[in-house]
Amino acid sequence: MFVYTRRVEFRDTDCAGILHFSVYLAYLEEAEHALLRHLGTSVHRVVEGGVWSWPRVAVSCEYFAAARFEDVLDIRLGVRELGETSVVYEGVFELEGREIARGTMTSVHCWIADGCPPRKEPIPPELRQGLEEHRLPN
């Protein structure tokens, strides 16, 4: 499992200083970006003629306790499912060792040619191997 650590910024809170519910999804995406960088790639790779990217097709999050301004969260990210072209990530948000939220996000590996809609493409073997190393137990 990959661990991404993030401090709650004031801009991410509501007027009571509590982390806004929508920001958990942004933090989950940040953890995905960090994992992909760790694996030697990026969520957005520009090459001649287009872009390799990972559009999101589904997200969800359950909340169990609040995080507040200046709290330090550990986001434990793992691969729940690995398809031919897609990855389902599961992220567990922890505050001082307690689970405060759990989210999932499905991303699809796509080629986006200049001026064209995204086209899903198989995940490259070397990246698939790296993602497999972060697969969660059943």
- The CATH number covering residue 40 comes to 3.10.129.10
d(CA 98, CA 108): 30
Determine if the pTM surpasses 0.85.
yes
pLDDT in tens, 5-54: 999 999 999 999 999 999 999 999 999 999 999 999 999 999 888 899 99
The number of folded domains in the chain is 1
Which parts of 16-73 fold into alpha helices (H)?
Answer: 23-38
Q: Identify any residues that bridge with 47 across adjacent strands, giving them in sequence order.
A: 50
How many CA atoms, within 13 angstroms, populate the side-chain half-sphere of residue 87? 30
Residue 138 lies in a domain: no
pLDDT in tens, 48-58: 888 999 999 99
d(CA 67, CA 82): 30
* Owning domain of residue 112: 2-132
- Going by C-alpha positions, the residue among 98, 91, 89 that lies closest to residue 67 is 98
pLDDT for position 39:
96
Residue 99 lies in a domain: yes
